Structure 1
Amino acid sequence: MSGSGTYREEELLSEYGHEFAEYLYHTPSEFERQGGLWVIRSGRNLAKPNYEVGPKVIECFSVHAVVSGSILFDYGEGTVHLNQGDLFCLYPGLRYSYRITAGEKQLRLYWLACQGSHAEPLFARIGFSREEPYVRDRWLPSHESEMDRIHELLRTEGGSRYEVQLLSRMYRVFDALGAAPTEASSSSTIADWLARAILYMDTHYTEGIDVADAVKVAGVHRSRFYQACSRQLGISPMQYLIKLRMEKSCELLVDGQLNMQAVALSVGYPDIYAFSRAFSKYYGMAPSHYQAAFGD
């Protein structure tokens, strides 16, 4: 677990029978209970292969994010397979259970449980309902940062500003989840972020960028970026970056003004060996053979 670098402050995760997890519990003050929303508990985990919760019911509202991996979520009379980026909601009194998908090796979850008169309306704004308590492709890396700030407050609760800060952070999380892009977004909105990311790759492909950098520019979940980019370009984002580098390298090889090492560095590869392997795999011949055949 420590080698993955997945969690910040990873040492705060404790080992349990079916997971490594951090559970943070909160007892709301009278001031908090006078408002419309307050925290009951929050946390995060890294599941073991035998991970399973329930069947059970709870007496509060709880939103769970599948940060990585996949689960099977049983709710009421339904069952749904949820993947990285999906959210599910536990409603008060609604019987539920969930478990890691068979063969899954890296299931991570974040959760936030709350009560108050604003809880159910806020969950509805995200897209949850008692009949369909889940939404697809909603969790973004920025949401993890917002949740981490809530966790920091829960670990060190106290002080005159604590209650207001915690309340503010909770509403920020719900606002972010409710405003996140969905598959129902307009085509013009999709075109904006996708065009921005493709332009980024077109502009910076020689600088050693990778797909993760383009995902950050797009501002959407990695899986959504892959799907939209592949539909638009006809190839995956990684294949598109390779295509740009290979086409440019051919121009430079034919031009003949740079040696092989300079060509490699000019198209974003760290050395001639990495470039030669990529070129040979892409064109079926070594770059030196290509230059001999097509160069001046």
Structure 2
Amino acid sequence: MGERANLAINEAPSRGELSVLFSGQSITEPLHHVGPSVHDYGIVHYVQSGKGTFTIRGVTYEVGEGDSFFIFPGELHHYVADEREPWQYRWIGYRGTGADQLLASIGIGPHAPIVQNYRTHRVEAMFRNVYKALQLGGVAGDIEAEGYTRVAFAEYARSSAKGNTSQKADKRSDIERQVEQAARWLSLQFDKSISIDELAHTLGYHRTYLSKMFRKQMGESPMQFLLRVRMERAKTLLMTTRLTIEQVAASVGYEDALYFSKLYKKWYSCSPSTHRSEMQNAQSSGCLYF
């Protein structure tokens, strides 16, 4: 199950308190899912229509039209479109020294990641404006995108003051917390040589037991999870940078570029170079985009 997406990337992001990285819009198919994943940046989604579920810290939230959900740096998460009413949403990716503190000050964080039923044309307009600003590009586009994002956050502050944030208790067991810790570690250390044996030893579990519990909770083995993280990161690098295939391979943990290319082709049904060309030229040659 896939999605149709439009994406605008900030070519000149600032390094201040709040920096906008990208923005876009997706129309998803039934049961389209993203993750489980961990990012080193934050993302806020605004649901325009349809519904789905969002899971963070072991808690699953039902999210629908007019709701917003937040992804936080270093937090394992995943989200799934509804089978009958798949959602359509806009999103803004951001990072910065004060972004999380800014959100925390208005009551939004990993334990309260949802702003519910805030149907305001102003919020949706800010998401559209951020996208348009990034399409214009340059320093002016960067400044404009940051300004519109701050206005959107101000709207969320007003909503939070009315009690529209959603918070649930964390009911994870110790092993569930450890599995999420393992997933976070794999997601952040994917560019290095990784041993599942060493990871299991560090967490105090036998490899077989950790792998069993990891698969039960995440739906895939630790090595499958790591491969997916690497392939998704490689796709992002191919789309957003001018790195050579060899440099992309090294950036996601593969010293052998040929071996990396074989894995990439098996994953996406086309080679890295073909995929890059297709994404840049908006062409279609059978590559997969999940």
Q: 1:173 pairs with 152, 155, 166, which one?
A: 152
Tell me how far 1:135 sits from its aligned partner.
2.3
> Where does structure 2 lack aligned partners over 5 or more consecutive residues?
165-290
Which position in structure 2 is the counterpart of 1:18?
Answer: 2
Tell me how far 1:43 sits from its aligned partner.
0.9
Tell me how far 1:176 sits from its aligned partner.
2.1
Matched residues, percent identical? 24
Once superposed, which parts of structure 1, at least 4 consecutive aligned residues long, lie more than 6 Å away? none
| Within-5 A mapping of 1:49-68 | 49-68=30-49
For 1:33-92, what per-residue CA distance to the aligned partner results, in whole angstroms no more than 9, with x for missing partners?
1x2111111111111113111111111111111221111111121111112111111111
Tell me how many residue pairs correspond in the alignment. Answer: 164
| Within-5 A mapping of 1:1-296 | 18-29=2-13, 32-33=14-15, 35-105=16-86, 107-158=87-138, 161-180=140-159, 184=163
Tell me how far 1:164 sits from its aligned partner.
2.9
> Where does structure 1 lack aligned partners over 5 or more consecutive residues?
1-16, 186-296
Q: Tell me: CA distance 1:153–1:53, structure 2 relative to 1, closer, same or farther (3 Å).
A: same
For 1:163-218, what per-residue CA distance to the aligned partner results, in whole angstroms no more than 9, with x for missing partners?
43233222222112222376538xxxxxxxxxxxxxxxxxxxxxxxxxxxxxxxxx
Q: Distance in 1 between matches of 2:153 and 2:11?
A: 20
One-letter amino acid of the counterpart of residue 71, structure 1:
G
Q: Distance in 2 between matches of 1:182 and 1:110?
A: 23
Secondary structure of 2:157's counterpart equals helix
CA contact (8 A) 1:28 1:39 kept: no
Which position in structure 2 is the counterpart of 1:216?
Answer: none
One-letter amino acid of the counterpart of residue 7, structure 2:
Y
Q: Distance in 2 between matches of 1:183 and 1:176?
A: 11
Secondary structure of 1:161's counterpart equals helix
Q: Tell me: CA distance 1:154–1:131, structure 2 relative to 1, closer, same or farther (3 Å).
A: same
Calculate the TM-score normalised by the size of structure 2: 0.52
Larger RCO, structures 1/2 (Cα 8 Å, 6+ apart): 2
Q: Tell me: CA distance 1:27–1:182, structure 2 relative to 1, closer, same or farther (3 Å).
A: same
Q: Tell me: CA distance 1:95–1:42, structure 2 relative to 1, closer, same or farther (3 Å).
A: same
One-letter amino acid of the counterpart of residue 6, structure 2:
E
Tell me how far 1:108 sits from its aligned partner.
1.0
Tell me how far 1:126 sits from its aligned partner.
4.4
CA contact (8 A) 1:87 1:135 kept: yes
Secondary structure of 2:78's counterpart equals strand
Tell me how far 1:161 sits from its aligned partner.
3.4
User: Looking at CA atoms only, which structure, 1 or 2, has the larger radius of gyration?
Assistant: 1
For 1:256-277, what per-residue CA distance to the aligned partner results, in whole angstroms no more than 9, with x for missing partners?
xxxxxxxxxxxxxxxxxxxxxx
Q: Distance in 2 between matches of 1:51 and 1:45?
A: 11
CA contact (8 A) 1:139 1:177 kept: no
Q: Tell me: CA distance 1:83–1:182, structure 2 relative to 1, closer, same or farther (3 Å).
A: farther
